[in-house]
Structure 1
């Protein structure tokens, strides 16, 4: 009796401790979510991670309207994504990655995202409950949930009756032992050996898909938690989730046979392992789950997109909390494109200098190296994309047309394809021309157009390309060192510039955008500041003056 009482006491202690530990774990997780809100997310990224993130987007890709790879890389959108990605689930981060690529061209979806972001920002209690539900679903390192689901879609469904027969055969052979020990024993040994062999043979083929089923079960459990939260503000989404989840009851029922709740070699797990070897229970359950999955794939897609949207909007709301200030974009479908921004900045720059511009025309930006030209046009591009994806502009005011956004900036030689920088550049510019259309204006950004060729042909060709772009429902921002272009294109492009000052052999930049073309010529002066020999800098100044007077270069002599 005392032994039984002692066992009971130990059982109660372990039970109470388990309940306490679980509550403490949830309390700590909740506090972590509070602390992480509005902070830069702590995530590790690898090349494999980004490849997995792109799997869902690749199935949704629209080459005519989306942010393409060149533009994405030009303006460092992966770094922007990392700033925003405070998602709790693998589905959420895959959906967010796709969202930042897919520009919206009407206000309907953007306003719905705005409603959700405001809800999650204003209602911490509600948001935390939803985040805990999303956390149940979890993330998978360097693996795309969407890609794995597609793999499951392609798996051949098999009949379960062979496995049922093997299990029945083993039972019959065991029953036969009392009546005929020799034959019963031999049959039992043969059936056991066959069942184990067939089990490992089949299990090896589908092992990887068990992970997919495990994630789907976690996803459905998380969805069930969201439904039970009974949040009126997201009732429409909860109704969709409830309807879609309902068709997966057969999938969930008995899933513990395939995916034990407790990993780590507990007695129940060991017992189930032996049963599976003989009776193939997990294989039979797997193919039953596979049948249910294939019959309800559309419902799973609905769950994926609904969960992805909610999780992405939580992350976007956290991003808004992180940045110094933002504005809600005023986006319009207009006949003539326009862009009006006040106090715009880039989230990747500490202590950014704010700039403003109002224009209905294309714009040439001049100035010396490091003066701010490239940073400014990248800032405009990033804000145009964020405005048409997460409905957030890093500015005090953003009014603009709905735009396609394209750039040609950080290009490199294609050594593997045996293409020179110039070939890569003209292909990049041609893709912008090819994607322009009458109904949706294009906002494009070009840094040092045709820098890969000689001065004469560069100015002749680039002036015509830029003129063409300005006339085809496009606002083009082009950064250039070629002052000649500001004169040649003055009827088509507005001129702005950045300037620098040299004070006591120091180069000072204020990074403020100024209307008009650049007038300072400090390139040679900068050589002096950097300590170049006086024979180089003085001779360069003399030759420049000679060219301005004579219209030709002085021939150098030894």
Structure 2
């Protein structure tokens, strides 16, 4: 009797401890969510991870999206990582796709903004939603959307062979009580066949069980979300409930599935493993689940996308909080493209310098090396993308047309196709020119136009290419060292520049945008700063001054 009491007390204490641990775990999770809000997300990324993140987007991309060159030029992977405070695999895949699919009408952006605002101003509801999404979790190297699509490609299989073999084994076991030793042979045959067929089929479906497990988590999360009192999200809750009705039986008896070998040593799980092997109960359950998924794939994708959308909007709300100064852009349609920004800055730079510009025509930017030209181009382009995707500009004021955004900045030789830098560059520029159309204006950013060729032809060709942008439905921002272009194109381009000061043998940049063309150069000064011989500095300065005065170079 004493032993029973001790065992009872032990079980009671274990039960209490489990309740306490579960409560403590939930409290830690809530503290973590609160602590991470508005902070840079702590995530690990690999090349495999990014390939998985791209899969959902790749199924939906079209010609109006941010193309690969522009995405790379703007370091948008870094922007994505800065913003990816999602809690689920669905959310992070949806967010990546959202940042690449620029919108050209205000309605979808307004809808996104309403949800973002809700999460910004309702911390309690937001945390409840984040807790729900975190139960789905993330995966390291897989795309949930990709594997769901793979599931849809699986051939439908009947359960009849599994039922017949399980029935045969059961009947042979029953017959042992009736006919005795004569039933041994049928039992051995059915045991062998069932085991062989089980492992053959199980190997084929093993990768997809992970997806089904995620779908179960999704359905559990949808159930929890529907209980959250948030009238502002009722539209999405109704959509989820409508889709979920198709999966009423999906979660029943999911314990029959196993995603791997039993390594826990748990006796009940070991017994269930043998039941699975001998009677194929998990294979039968899998086929039933497969039938439901394939029959209702439209509804399942709808749930995936709705949950992904909501999770990604939480991440955007966190991003706005992190940035501090952000604004909801004013986006307009009209015959002539416009762009006006105040105190715009680069989201990846700590303590950034803010700049402003208001233009209805193309812009040439000159200035010394390292003065801030390229950073300003990226700043403007990133803000254009964010304005038309997450309805957010990291600035004090942003008003612009709906633009197709392109860049040609950080190009490289293409060794695989044996193309020189110049060939890569002119192809990159041509893709932008070819994208210009009457309906949607182009906003493009070019850093050092045609730097891959000689000075004479560079200036001549650059002038004509840049002029063609101004003659079409486009606003081009071009950074250049060629002061000649500021004179050649002065009727078509506004001139701006970045400048610097020399103080105590140091060059100090203010990184502020100024009107007019640049009048200072620092290339020769930089030679002196890092210790080149005085003779080289003096002779180079004399040659440069002579060219400015006479327009020709002295033969050495």
Work out whether the TM-score is over 0.5: yes
Determine the structure 1 residue equivalent to 2:548.
548
In structure 1, distance between residues paired with 2:209 and 2:520? 67
In structure 1, distance between residues paired with 2:301 and 2:552? 67
Determine the structure 1 residue equivalent to 2:73.
74
For the residue of structure 2 that corresponds to 1:60, the secondary structure is: coil
Determine the structure 2 residue equivalent to 1:309.
309
Provide Cα deviations, 1:19-64, integer angstroms capped at 9, x if missing partner. 111111001101110011011000000111100000000001012x
Shift of 1:550: 3.0
Q: Does 1:532 align with 2:532?
A: yes
Determine the structure 2 residue equivalent to 1:11.
11
Shift of 1:110: 1.1
Determine the structure 1 residue equivalent to 2:25.
25
Determine the structure 2 residue equivalent to 1:357.
357
Q: Does structure 2 retain, via aligned residues, the 8 Å contact 1:67–1:406?
A: yes
Q: Which runs of 5+ in 2 are unaligned?
A: none
Provide Cα deviations, 1:309-346, integer angstroms capped at 9, x if missing partner. 11011000011111131111011112100000000001
In structure 2, distance between residues paired with 1:163 and 1:57? 39
Q: Does structure 2 retain, via aligned residues, the 8 Å contact 1:137–1:219?
A: yes
Shift of 1:538: 1.6
For the residue of structure 2 that corresponds to 1:446, the secondary structure is: strand
In structure 1, distance between residues paired with 2:161 and 2:543? 90
Provide Cα deviations, 1:46-102, integer angstroms capped at 9, x if missing partner. 111100000000001012x11111111101011110111000000000000000001
Q: What is the TM-score normalised by the length of structure 2?
A: 0.98
In structure 2, distance between residues paired with 1:502 and 1:518? 15
In structure 2, distance between residues paired with 1:519 and 1:382? 28
In structure 1, distance between residues paired with 2:425 and 2:170? 73
Q: 1:88 to 1:368 in 2, by over 3 A?
A: same
Q: 1:342 to 1:433 in 2, by over 3 A?
A: same
In structure 1, distance between residues paired with 2:258 and 2:135? 15
Determine the structure 2 residue equivalent to 1:377.
377
In structure 2, distance between residues paired with 1:231 and 1:279? 46
Shift of 1:107: 1.3
In structure 1, distance between residues paired with 2:248 and 2:236? 19
Alignment of 1:407-556 (within 5 A): 407-556=407-556
Q: 1:263 to 1:211 in 2, by over 3 A?
A: farther
For the residue of structure 2 that corresponds to 1:391, the secondary structure is: coil
Q: Does structure 2 retain, via aligned residues, the 8 Å contact 1:260–1:269?
A: no
Determine the structure 2 residue equivalent to 1:92.
91
Determine the structure 2 residue equivalent to 1:172.
171
In structure 2, distance between residues paired with 1:548 and 1:135? 65
Determine the structure 1 residue equivalent to 2:366.
366
Provide Cα deviations, 1:118-153, integer angstroms capped at 9, x if missing partner. 111111111111111101111011110011111111
Q: What is the TM-score normalised by the length of structure 1?
A: 0.97
In structure 2, distance between residues paired with 1:122 and 1:343? 25
RMSD: 1.4
Shift of 1:232: 1.4
For the residue of structure 1 that corresponds to 2:178, the secondary structure is: coil
Shift of 1:259: 4.7
In structure 2, distance between residues paired with 1:199 and 1:421? 57
For the residue of structure 1 that corresponds to 2:508, the secondary structure is: strand
Q: Does 1:43 align with 2:24?
A: no
In structure 2, distance between residues paired with 1:38 and 1:398? 22
Shift of 1:268: 2.5
Q: Does structure 1 retain, via aligned residues, the 8 Å contact 2:247–2:292?
A: yes
Shift of 1:263: 8.3
Deviates more, 1:524-533 or 1:292-301: 524-533
Determine the structure 2 residue equivalent to 1:290.
290
Determine the structure 2 residue equivalent to 1:347.
347
Determine the structure 2 residue equivalent to 1:271.
271
Shift of 1:265: 4.0
Alignment of 1:244-259 (within 5 A): 244-259=243-258
